[in-house]
Chains A and B, each alone.
Chain A
Amino acid sequence: GEDVEQSLFLSVREGDSSVINCTYTDSSSTYLYWYKQEPGAGLQLLTYIFSNMDMKQDQRLTVLLNKKDKHLSLRIADTQTGDSAIYFCAERSDQAGTALIFGKGTTLSVSS
């Protein structure tokens, strides 16, 4: 079945790196996504990675995928207070009819 797990909270200081982790169980997942949700706002797509890739970098964001362990991480370099938000990991599973299955979200708190 499909299940996506994330730690619920992460607290970092401004300027540090943040690493948000995610595990998934559906080995047939083809794409994995990271979304950001700020308070009272909608979902913003940050990045996604295809399942045959190990890493994807986009400016301050680095996504690492360990397909063997079904582990996905999002690293935010030089974390800023504006990065404070909830970060959702999501998988695209063919078993779910191509809809995204979301984790519960990790609340990132950045202190100055």
Chain B
Amino acid sequence: SAVISQKPSRDICQRGTSLTIQCQVDSQVTMMFWYRQQPGQSLTLIATANQGSEATYESGFVIDKFPISRPNLTFSTLTVSNMSPEDSSIYLCSVVGRTYGYTFGSGTRLTVV
């Protein structure tokens, strides 16, 4: 399966600021996704990162709040903009290759104070 490097692993941020999370994969993958896991909750899909075009967002998530880039087949970024304490969560990158195995990054633990 693919190996994902997700950075930063954790951060504490001031409200009103923005944080960009990076996801680097060691091989070309067909699909890349961004999820959020709020404390004690399951994973919620934020968006599908599309290579070379705008991401596809799920209901309740908008581009202005969570801009996503995917300049190539192995790299994507998620920005959490104008943060508030409600954005405190774990953010996870996920990729899928040819064998239908979905691999997840180790996550970014974000605390907004």
Contact = CB atoms under 8 A, between A and B. Distances in A.
Interface of A: 31, 33, 35, 41-43, 45, 48, 88, 90, 92, 96-105
Interface string B1-43: 1000000000000000000000000000001010000000111
Instruction: Indicate the size class of the contact surface on chain B.
Output: 20 to 34
B42 A88 contact: yes
Contacts of A102: 42-44
A33 B45 CA distance: 16
B101 A48 contact: yes
Nearest to A6: B42
B61 interface: no
Chain A at the B interface: SS class: strand
B48 A99 contact: yes
B56 interface: yes
A23 B48 CA distance: 25
